[in-house]
A and B are shown apart, each in its own frame.
Chain A
Amino acid sequence: MKAFWQPRVLVLIGCVLLWQVLAWWLPSRYLPTPSAVLATLWQQIVSGDLFIHVGATLGRVITSFTLAMLIGVGIGIVMGSRERWNEWLDSLVIIGLNIPALVTIILCYIWLGLGETAAILAVALNKIPMVIVTLREGARAVDKDLLQVAQVYRLSPTQRFWKVYWPQLYPYLFAAARNGLALIWKIVLVVELLGRSNGVGFQLGNYFHYFDIKGILAYTFAFVTLILILEAVFLRPLEKRLNRWRE
């Protein structure tokens, strides 16, 4: 299989090999070998714990990601195309961008209770301002000449939006989605650590109590694999498909 030897795969294999060599060279209970980590991972898979926790985390990631994208894209487009709205909302966006994630999380938990709603909302709130800023740039960069074509040829508002306006936002949507996923993974784990009784973040918290490095690395490994798979089977093909016309 040709794809297997792509540079991006080789780099990953190189990292694991380096890790193995380091673990042999500096034997310590705080640096387990890759094989020991894989053994722990296997044990978690067999017991079913891994699926429960990764599944719970994945569910939160998808929900809050969708929520953040929908709201952020909507507000971003409005702010990018209507200067009036931008003036009113701009300072709120700046505050949103700069408030520490931890503050949002704690406030959501205190005000809404230690529940699923608070957890999802906290994650989404952290992400929305970044989506807004990216899509605002996109809406500002929209080609006025093409909108004139739409006007002259009397396209309906729906066609004007979906066939002329929306495709121009693709690069910005992908940028927002990529950065968004990366950020949301990180924040979801913190949210879980602080106030949930399942999920990868919760598990990592448990392992931390016992200084169980093998467990921590096993979950990290599972997690990283999942992200790489999502990127390879979902984001990259979709992006390639939507960018066919650039070739």
Chain B
Amino acid sequence: MSLVSVNLQDKTFANGVQTVRDVQFTVQSGEFVALVGPSGTGKTTLLNMIAGLETDYTGTIQAPCDALSYMFQDPRLMPWLTVENNLRLVLDAPPLQADTERFVRMENLLNQLGLNEFRAAFPKQLSGGLKRRVALVRAFVTQPQLLLMDEPFQSLDEPTAQDLRQLLMQLWADTCPTVLFVTHSLNEALQLADRILFFSARPAQVILDYAVPVTRPRSSVTSDLQTLQNQLLQQYPQLLSGSLAKE
């Protein structure tokens, strides 16, 4: 069953720049898909369209808009709310039911990600890595069917980013939401995703739909991933610049 189905003919901004042209893909329920492409090719715009934040385009997009979470490039926590209240904010969202189950879920996630001692802290008092953790909890606490992630671990030092990737994998394994993960790092994509969609430079088109042939868990097979990455780049030297050309 495909959960997300994208069939876009055109997305052109008011300033005349065409960012997306003829993009078609579907994503199965529970699949982890990475979107990789050169920066500025409209991957963020694509996520915004799937999230319903951007509505001015030609084409159709089917996505579970009432059951999705979005982790943005910057954590985007409400600076005037404590960690706990930031989470409660999204939990109280409609449909509003006075159940305790979701608050238990919040407590569990706070504990699981080691955020318990920071629950009364304001975002400004947290490090970049901790803010991302809170944003990660916020994304999972609503138990989304679809999770959109837009280079969420960018601008972090590598060990912190690696920690967060592992946490993401744990959380994903627990509830298996469908994930669309935008990144420009091939390494990150190979480590996380079931499938990678490679995009061309603007206007964005899918140039390669690649299933990652590595079983999970992958934390122990870094050498395999490295080999895969080398193979891919040998076959398509300009893959990350958005082209399948040999030279």
Inter-subunit contact A156/B96 (CB<8 Å):
yes
Pair B92/A245 contact, Cβ less than 8 Å: no
Checking A148, A151, A153, A245 against B80 with a beta-carbon cut-off of 8 angstroms, the contacting residue is: A245
Asked if A67 is at the interface (CB within 8 A of a chain B CB), the reply is: no
Asked if A155 is at the interface (CB within 8 A of a chain B CB), the reply is: yes
**CB contact under 8 A between A154 and B66, given known A149-B72, A245-B79:** yes
Per-residue A-contact encoding for B63-90, CB less than 8 Å = 1, 0 else: 0001011101010101111000000011
Q: State the majority secondary structure of interface residues on A.
A: helix
The answer for the CA separation of A221 and B11 in the assembled complex, in Å, is 67
Q: A145-B72, A245-B122 are in contact. Are A159 and B51 (CB under 8 A)?
A: no
Counting CB contacts under 8 A, is A244 at the interface? yes
Interface residues on B, range: 20 to 34
Q: How far is the CA of A146 from the CA of B74 in the complex (A)?
A: 11
For the complex, give the distance between the alpha carbons of A245 and B125 in Å: 9
| CB–CB B124/A146 < 8 A | no
Q: Let me know if B76 and A159 touch, CB within 8 A.
A: no
Q: Which residues of the partner chain A approach B122 to less than 8 Å between Cβ atoms?
A: 244-245, 247
| CB nearest neighbor in B for A164 | B78
Minimum CB–CB distance from A67 to chain B (whole Å) comes to: 27
B93 interface contact, C-beta 8 A: yes
Closest to B66 in A: A154
Q: Which residues of B contact A146 (CB under 8 A)?
A: 76, 78
Chain B hits for A152, CB < 8 A? 51-53, 68-70
Is B29 positioned at the interface, with any CB of A under 8 Å from its CB?
Answer: no
A170: chain B residues at CB < 8 Å are 80
Q: Are A163 and B81 in contact (CB under 8 A)?
A: yes
Q: When chains A and B are docked, how far (Å) is the Cα of A72 from the Cα of B50?
A: 38
Question: In the assembly, what is the distance between CA of A170 and CA of B79, in Å?
Answer: 13
Tell yes or no: B142 within 8 A of A by CB. yes
A151-B53, A245-B122 as given contacts; A156 in contact with B93, CB under 8 Å:
yes
Contact with A along B86-116 (1 / 0, CB 8 A): 0001101110100000000000000000000
Residue numbers in B under 8 Å from A244 (CB-CB) = 122
Question: Among residues 18 to 77 in chain B, which have CB atoms less than 8 Å away from a CB atom of chain A?
Answer: 51-53, 66, 68-70, 72, 74, 76
CB-based contact A246/B89 at 8 Å: no
Contact B90 A155 (CB under 8 A): yes
Asked if A55 CB lies within 8 Å of chain B CBs, one says: no
CA distance A164 to B69 in the complex (A): 17
Q: Which chain A residues numbered 74 to 108 have a C-beta less than 8 Å away from chain B?
A: none
What residues of A have a CB within 8 angstroms of the CB of B96 in the complex? 156
Within the assembled complex, what's the spacing in Å between the Cα atoms of A152 and B81? 18
Is A59 at the interface (CB under 8 A from chain B)? Answer: no
CB distance A149 to B80 under 8 Å? no
Least CB distance from A206 to B in Å reads: 49
Most buried by A among B68, B90, B124: B90
Report the nearest A residue to B90, measured CB to CB. A153
Question: Given known contacts A148-B53, A245-B122, is B94 in contact with A167 (CB within 8 Å)?
Answer: no
- CA separation between A244 and B85, bound complex, in Å? 15
Q: How far is the CA of A247 from the CA of B53 in the complex (A)?
A: 32
How far in angstroms is the closest Cβ of chain A from B137?
Answer: 13
Can you show 14 pairs from A to B with CB atoms below 8 A apart? A146-B76, A148-B53, A148-B72, A148-B76, A151-B52, A152-B70, A153-B93, A156-B93, A159-B92, A164-B78, A170-B80, A242-B80, A245-B81, A245-B124
A residues bordering B, Cβ < 8 Å? 145-146, 148-149, 151-156, 159, 163-164, 167, 170, 242, 244-247
Q: Which residues of B contact A (CB under 8 A)?
A: 51-53, 66, 68-70, 72, 74, 76, 78-81, 89-90, 92-94, 96, 122-124, 138, 142
Contacts A149-B70, A156-B96 aside, 4 further interface pairs with beta carbons under 8 A come to A163-B81, A242-B80, A245-B80, A245-B122
